[in-house]
Amino acid sequence: MRHWRGLRGRLTREALMAQAGSAGPEIGVQRGRTPWLWALAVLWLAAAEGSPSRRKWPVPYKRFSFRPEADPYCQAKYTFCPTGSPIPVMKDHDVIEVYRLQAPVWEFKYGGLLGHLKIMHDAIGFKSSLTGKNYTIEWYELFQLGNCTFPHLRPEINAPFWCNQGAACFFEGIDDIHWKENGTLVLVATISGNMFNKMANWVKWDNETGIYYETWTVQASPEKGAQTWFESYDCSQFVLRTYNKLAELGAEFKKTETNYTRIFLYSGEPTCLGNETSVFGPAGNKTLALAIKKFYYPFKPYLSTREFLFSLLEIFDSVIIHRQFYLFYNFEYWFLPMKFPFVKITYEEIPLPIRNKALSGF
Ligand SMILES: CCCCCCCCCCCCCC(=O)OC[C@@H](O)COP(=O)(O)OC[C@@H](O)CO
């Protein structure tokens, strides 16, 4: 059994789909049925050897002109942003403290359990000196992490169905116990009311245009400086974007270590396979469509213990043995030629940003 990994260079969508069209769903694995196609692919790769990919990496996260209504099929296990409120307009001369908030994911359900694995959720707290009121802003999934990581395979719909929206939630109050008990609540900056108001306007734009959650960070290897193929778009990325916006507005951050959770996939150069229409539509490649759905099938939720254990074996077979992963990014499907160590959860420092001195009005 041979894998594409023995051949250097990048596979085009056509080569992968052609391979799929002849060899059946296990793309990238030679089954001895298409030697001529295999030779063609080898010749193509030899010709392409060393030709640098023309694509810009990492793939830029796609923003949209507006946030669509969520599909009623998507059901939240826990209500999104139950105590949400509009962001208030602060007095320009107000002095507002900015807090880094971090707690284990799903702490409300599992306490500090995931904190032991450093699987952490991030948010930002604000406290107004003029009013004494404090606030929390956090960015997370409308329909929980599993729905943002894997799709639903609905019998009545040919394409995988995603409930992967993520959004910002702003509400009055900071739950000190929630953040302090197993995580972090620390002052990181002090800003003016004017800066806060400008940040608030940016948050509204960011929230209206950045509409989907992406769990995975995809890189070529765990080494520092390795090529990043895709960045995640999750709670921590929102906090980082907001800190950067505040620094751009002139905020000066304290010197404190800030670590964040990321879950990595390691792969060779990804290949874009197309979107829902081009892959799963009437003119789509039926075998590729089947291969993608076959890949996602073991990830479906609410399995029995026996089904779950069997699914783990299927996932191991796809990702580790056959070194295949289908990523959904920017509402397109990507083939990832997986590499050792395949998957890794990290909790590493991403330093607080440097102030933009040109704009520091505070
Ligand atoms: C199907 C799972 C695939 C494997 C994923 C393994 C862990 C990956 C962690 C990535 C970082 C997650 C950080 C993040 O975006 O957190 C958002 C959200 O999941 C946090 O959930 P929460 O319930 O703790 O907090 C949201 C809300 O309840 C707080 O008020």
Structure confidence by residue, pLDDT tens digits, 41-59: 555 555 554 455 688 999 9
- Give the pair of three-digit tokens for residue 146: 């599993």
171 lines ligand 1 (CB under 6 A): no
Residue 88 Cα to ligand 1 midpoint, Å, equals 27
pLDDT at position 199 is 98
pLDDT at position 4 is 32
Residue 121 Cα to ligand 1 midpoint, Å, equals 6
pLDDT at position 305 is 81
Q: Does 12 score more than 70 pLDDT?
A: no
Residue 179's Cβ-side half-sphere holds a number of Cα atoms within 13 Å equal to 19
Closest residue by Cα to residue 118 from 216, 256, 261: 261
- Give the whole-angstrom CA distance, residue 158 versus residue 144: 23
**Phi, psi angles (nearest 5°) of residue 244:** -65, -40
204, 116 contact by CB (below 8 A)? no
Closest residue by Cα to residue 340 from 326, 311, 319, 310: 319
Residue 304 Cα to ligand 1 midpoint, Å, equals 23
- In angstroms, the Cα distances linking 75 to 47, 107, 163, 247, 338 are 49, 21, 8, 37, 32
Query: For a substitution probing ligand 1, which of 83, 121, 152, 184 has the most ligand atoms within 8 Å of its CB?
Result: 121
Region 350-355: what's the mean pLDDT?
A: 96
Cis peptide before 341 (omega within 30 of 0): yes
- In angstroms, the Cα distances linking 126 to 47, 84, 95, 171 are 57, 15, 10, 10
Region 278-296: what's the mean pLDDT?
A: 97
239, 261 contact by CB (below 8 A)? no
- Give the pair of three-digit tokens for residue 89: 């307009």
- Which has the higher per-residue pLDDT, 361 or 198? 198
- Give the whole-angstrom CA distance, residue 273 versus residue 288: 9
- Give the whole-angstrom CA distance, residue 345 versus residue 339: 15
Question: Which amino acid residue places its CA nearest to atom 1 of ligand 1?
Answer: 146
Query: For a substitution probing ligand 1, which of 235, 240, 315 has the most ligand atoms within 8 Å of its CB?
Result: 235
pLDDT at position 304 is 80
How close are the terminal C-alpha atoms of the chain, in Å? 64
Residue 122 Cα to ligand 1 midpoint, Å, equals 9
Residue 149 Cα to ligand 1 midpoint, Å, equals 11
Q: Which one is catalytic: 178, 235, 272, 322?
A: 235
Containing 21, the helix (H) or strand (E) segment is: helix 13-23
For the chain, give the percent of residues with pLDDT over 70.
84
- Give the whole-angstrom CA distance, residue 322 versus residue 324: 6
106 lines ligand 1 (CB under 6 A): yes
Residue 70 Cα to ligand 1 midpoint, Å, equals 19
Instruction: Tell me if residue 272 is catalytic.
Output: no
Instruction: Tell me if residue 121 is catalytic.
Output: yes
Q: Which one is catalytic: 121, 163, 178, 322?
A: 121
- Give the whole-angstrom CA distance, residue 103 versus residue 121: 5
Query: Over the stretch 220-246, which tens digit does the pLDDT of each residue have?
Result: 999 999 999 999 999 999 999 999 999
Using 50, 70 and 90 to split pLDDT, how confident is the model at 300? confident
Provide the CA 338 distance to its chain's centre, in angstroms. 17
- Give the whole-angstrom CA distance, residue 197 versus residue 338: 44
Containing 166, the helix (H) or strand (E) segment is: strand 166-172
pLDDT at position 47 is 53
Closest residue by Cα to residue 220 from 273, 282, 268: 268
Region 295-324: what's the mean pLDDT?
A: 89
Q: What is the ipTM of this complex?
A: 0.92
Work out which ligand 1 atom sits closest to the CA atom of 149. 1
Using 50, 70 and 90 to split pLDDT, how confident is the model at 8? very low
234 lines ligand 1 (CB under 6 A): yes
- Give the whole-angstrom CA distance, residue 57 versus residue 122: 26
Work out which ligand 1 atom sits closest to the CA atom of 235. 15
Question: Which amino acid residue places its CA nearest to atom 17 of ligand 1?
Answer: 140
140 lines ligand 1 (CB under 6 A): yes
81 lines ligand 1 (CB under 6 A): no
Residue 107 Cα to ligand 1 midpoint, Å, equals 10
